[in-house]
Copies of this chain bind each other. A is one copy, B any other.
Amino acid sequence: MDRSRLEAFSDGVFAVAITLLALNLTLAGPGPDRLQHQLWEHRWSFGAYGLSFLIIGIIWVNHHVLIKSIARVDRTLLFLNLALLLFVVLIPFSTATVAQYLPVHGGDVKVAMVLYSAVFLGMSLGFGLIFEWTLHGDHRIEPLPPQAHWPARLRFVGGALVYVVAIVVSLFSADAAFALIALTAVYYIVERTPTSPAAPDSPDGSPLVG
């Protein structure tokens, strides 16, 4: 069992991606536009920054819990983890794009929101693949009982489904899709399942968000 480098590399990627998010906030600086006005004009950037920060934070917490449940690391897991990180690394890009188009609100903002939702969907599917991998073989320290497989999978499908719905909603209203993703993120943060024996640390490694 050697999870340390998998964790160290993933934590590095999560940390750099979450910090690069704020690079997009750079203002034009002194000029005809007052600073207050520039900050107000950037309110969408701040909102997109905050939302993407929360989602990367949630997926990091889930990754933390899931990897802790794993008995051994093999090459398949390393590459599934890379598939997850491929989308995590795209989040600063998709966040910057949606923040560019939200203030304009022309037809392109819908395309930008589809892109934004699709990157989260890819991340969600990557995470789901890792979870699926943990269900097979002797990959978990404490195997989940078979009857717990489908409920756990359904939580994943639920999480991924939010992003599929967000993609569809984007075609009608970018703002509504943004609100949907934001509400889901807040839900996963405040969600408590105190009656479950798995709480508060969710040691069964079940996802907190897809």
A75 CB–B CB distance under 8 Å = yes
The stretch from A5-13, A123-131, A148-156 touching chain B is A5-13
Contact of A23 among B20, B35, B86 (CB under 8 A): B20
Binary per-residue interface labels of chain A (199-210) against chain B in the complex, 1 for a CB within 8 Å, 0 otherwise: 011100000100
Shortest Cβ distance from A105 into B: residue: B30
Q: Mark A74-106, 1 if CB is under 8 A from B, else 0.
A: 111011001001100110110011001100101
A17 at interface, CB cutoff 8 A: yes
Instruction: Determine the chain B residues whose CB is within 8 A of the CB of A30 once the complex forms.
Output: 100-101, 104, 106, 108
Kindly state whether residue A189 has any CB partner on chain B within 8 Å. Answer: yes
List residues of chain B with CB within 8 A of the CB of A16.
12, 15-16, 19-20
- A79-B57 in contact (CB<8A): yes
Min CB gap A20→B, angstroms? 7
What is the interface size of chain A, counting residues whose CB is below 8 A from a CB of the partner? 65
A146 CB → nearest B CB, Å? 24
Asked if A180 is at the interface of the complex by the 8 Å CB criterion, the answer is: no
**Residue ID in chain B nearest A17 by CB atoms:** B19
Determine whether A195 belongs to the interface, using a CB cutoff of 8 Å to chain B.
no
Tell me which residues across on chain B come within 8 A of A133, comparing CB atoms: none
Given known pairs A8-B11, A64-B5, A86-B53, the reply for A201 and B100 (CB within 8 Å) is no
A11, B106: Cα distance in complex, Å: 40
Q: Using a CB–CB distance below 8 Å, which chain A residues touch chain B?
A: 2, 4-9, 11-23, 25-27, 29-30, 34-36, 39, 50, 53-54, 57, 60-61, 64, 68, 73-76, 78-79, 82, 85-86, 89-90, 92-93, 96-97, 100-101, 104, 106, 108, 111-112, 115, 189, 200-202, 208
Question: Top 4 closest A-B pairs, CB basis?
Answer: A12-B15, A29-B100, A35-B108, A16-B19
